[in-house]
């Protein structure tokens, strides 16, 4: 199973998956990182791991359809089986969506369908969880559907909310769980324990 990562920022989830592939937890081969932003930790992490990187964005391809095409070409040339979204802040174009139907996984830092949808990213998710008075939150790995944070849920992990929690503290606690949940889900997909439609 060849993995193609799409990331925009830190890439800590990608790192957890790279490590999982490296130590044999996940039977998969990371094949490419596509990043829209050249100056990110995600790019640094990929370079350190000898993972080929392509920078593709609105500057390299001002026309959205040609950008979609370029992303699809890069993934196809790398013979990707599964697209792994790891903090990718852009919408996937229709060509890539169609070519990788049910083969695009994402992680979201809440227990979807709660606290998902447009505008729900980063600290906003954790602020909303605290404002709603939830006693538990978590992370969700899911397939990408046509809308934000939609598509079949593959696995979830729960995280307690403590009295006095700040959004930042909650974000760190959830991220820690993400680094277990995402590699675990990919390992199960690779072993056939989680079947994709």
CA distance 41 to 63: 26
Q: Which part of the chain contacts ligand GRF (CB under 6 A), choosing from 7-15, 20-28, 50-58, 156-164? A: 7-15
Is 108 labeled as catalytic in the residue annotation? yes
Binding marks (x or -) toward ligand GRF, 8..37, rule CB under 6 A? -xxxxx------------------------
Q: List residues bridging with 108 in a β-sheet.
A: 140
Q: Counting contacts by CB under 6 A, is residue 142 touching ligand GRF?
A: no
Shortest gap between Cβ of 5 and ligand GRF (angstroms)? 10
Question: Of residues 107-126, which lie at the interface with ligand GRF (CB under 6 A)?
Answer: 107-109
Say how many C-beta atoms besides its own lie within 10 A of residue 46's C-beta: 25
Binding marks (x or -) toward ligand GRF, 45..84, rule CB under 6 A? ----------------------------------------
Number of residues that bind ligand GRF (CB under 6 A): 13
User: Which residue numbers are catalytic?
Assistant: 108
């Amino acid at each position: 199973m060849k993995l193609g990562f799409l990331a925009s920022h830190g890439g800590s989830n990608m790192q957890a998956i790279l490590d999982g592939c490296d130590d044999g937890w996940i039977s998969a081969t990371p094949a490419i990182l596509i990043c829209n932003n050249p100056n990110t930790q995600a790019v640094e992490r990929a370079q350190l791991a000898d993972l080929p990187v392509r920078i593709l964005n609105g500057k390299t391809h001002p026309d959205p359809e040609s950008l979609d095409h370029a992303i699809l070409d890069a993934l196809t040339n790398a013979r990707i089986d599964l697209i792994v979204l790891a903090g990718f802040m852009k919408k996937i174009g229709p060509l890539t969506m169609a070519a990788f139907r049910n083969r695009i996984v994402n992680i979201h830092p809440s227990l979807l369908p709660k606290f998902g949808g447009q505008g729900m990213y980063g600290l906003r998710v954790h602020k909303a969880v605290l404002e709603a008075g939830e006693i538990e939150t978590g992370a969700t790995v899911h397939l990408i559907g046509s809308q934000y944070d939609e598509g079949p849920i593959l696995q979830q992990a729960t995280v307690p909310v403590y009295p006095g929690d700040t959004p930042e503290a909650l974000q760190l606690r959830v991220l820690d769980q993400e680094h277990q949940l995402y590699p675990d889900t990919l390992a199960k997909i690779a072993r056939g324990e989680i079947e994709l439609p």
